[in-house]
Chain A
Amino acid sequence: AQSVSQHNHHVILSEAASLELGCNYSYGGTVNLFWYVQYPGQHLQLLLKYFSGDPLVKGIKGFEAEFIKSKFSFNLRKPSVQWSDTAEYFCASLMDSNYQLIWGAGTKLIIKP
């Protein structure tokens, strides 16, 4: 079955640390990949997305993600996190350009000031 897995359910970092959140998908066909973020008390919002072209995608707030097809991965990175990055991060995929987003379980990120 098609699935998305996020390996870390909880991550705690200090401000200015570098961040990498893992995301792997299981599907051999065409995939479109997304990272969504949910800040405390707010709606889910799109951080970045990959459809085709440059596998290194830049999103809002200094986040980026790299699509590595051979590893079925789409890890989220940020070189230096801030306290305001405390949130829950979700990886999701669309497979074969279907509209049905398949979601990972999410990673709760806590940044210590």
Chain B
Amino acid sequence: GAGVSQSPSNKVTEKGKDVELRCDPISGHTALYWYRQSLGQGLEFLIYFQGNSAPDKSGLPSDRFSAERTGGSVSTLTIQRTQQEDSAVYLCASSKSGASYNEQFFGPGTRLTVL
């Protein structure tokens, strides 16, 4: 079946602009995660959704970052007033539920470059 998809695959934007990144999880997966991977570093947890609610937003680096999920499916990560330090690959993952034993399946990522 189809895996996790993300769009766009690449985004170049100017400092100060807003961007929206989209994630389409595997059908039926109730849990959805956003991570960020900066150059030369491991993945950094941003936010977790169980259904449409986000019980844990602790990883969002600042109030410029927000995310929503509608219909228990598609999620959008929005970065307002982008800064150069926001440049990274943003990865989305989904799993059958939020239980730890469920494998997280990853999408291809969106590479964001802020000029």
Contact = CB atoms under 8 A, between A and B. Distances in A.
A4 interface: yes
Chain A's interface size range is 20 to 34
B84 to A, nearest CB: 21
**Majority-rule SS of B interface residues:** loop
Contact of A100 (B3, B42, B48): B48
Given A43-B108, A99-B33, A94 B100 contact: yes
Interface in A44-64: 44-46, 49, 51
B77 to A, nearest CB: 16
A90 B37 CA distance: 12
A99 B48 contact: yes
Contacts of B45: 100-102
A25 to B, nearest CB: 12
